[in-house]
Amino acid sequence: MIIPLTPHPAALVKTEKTRTLVVVDLHIGWEIALSERGIHVPTQTPKLMQKLKTLIKNYKPERLLILGDVKHTVAKAEISEWHDIPDFFNELKTHIEEIQIIRGNHDGNLEPLLPEGIKILQSSGIIIGEVGLFHGHRWPSPNLLKCKTLVMGHVHPVIAFRDPAGFRITRQVWVKAKCDKNQLAEILLQKHKIKIEKNPQKTLLKHYKINPKTSQLFIMPSFNEFLGGKPLNEKSGGKTAKTDKVVGPILRTEAVDMKNAEVYLLDGTFLGSLSQLEILAEHKT
């Protein structure tokens, strides 16, 4: 069972025995990219730490799972990250016993920055109870299809609004999309180079000993609220959100119904479907 922790960009995955706090897209060191453009912003890492400490205190999880993109640089580590990331996790370890990280596309060369005892997991994802979790920049493992619910990050989902005067604002959101389990099974088997024999369901059963159950996928908002994102409801160049806005291979398949995906603000307010929200981003003259 997954519970969004409104009004925070975080979730709790509960099983009969454990509670796991889940966050994604910290992007520690993002201020460096701004500094290179002449925009100087004080480090926001202490604010991330305070938010995590508050969630840990309030919900008392046994484990923290970060769904990728701990740091901001992609393949290397900047000087400030060599300082900020070890300090961040050394302090975090004093508040929660177990910390795991699913590798994201920004987590190259992350291992040397982490203190002992923190485990880095494959980007193809893990299963906690009935929930499959992965970062989203790569295909998840077919193993995750044994879960009814999938959870990913990577997208930094936001929705844009315009008032009658044309002023534009964006807000972080949760996205909940329906999935076709049989299409997902076929696609993931092909992407993992497994030959489909008779049909995807029997092939999945043969190789992974599971029947596909996945019916929904949640896209988590980034834990670092300063990152922003590319609004999912804005069009550009005549392209739809399906082809132009959504990042991550699994979301660009017909197996995930992004057009009719449900969109929620961080406080839980239901905004409508993604296709309905496209009109909110339009500038009418």
Q: Which tens digits make up the pLDDT trace of 10-44?
A: 999 999 999 999 999 998 876 666 556 665 566 77
Q: For the chain, give the mean pLDDT.
A: 86
Q: Which tens digits make up the pLDDT trace of 263-277?
A: 999 999 999 999 999
* CA gap 279, 256 in Å, rounded: 22
Question: What is the band of 45 on the pLDDT scale with cuts at 50, 70, 90?
Answer: confident
pLDDT of residue 236: 58
Q: Which of 103, 160, 187 has its CA nearest to residue 280?
A: 160
More confident residue, 236 or 233: 233
pLDDT of residue 228: 73
Q: Which tens digits make up the pLDDT trace of 159-215?
A: 998 877 778 889 999 999 999 999 999 999 999 889 988 889 999 999 999 999 999
Q: Which of 141, 134, 81, 144 has its CA nearest to residue 108?
A: 81
* CA gap 187, 77 in Å, rounded: 34
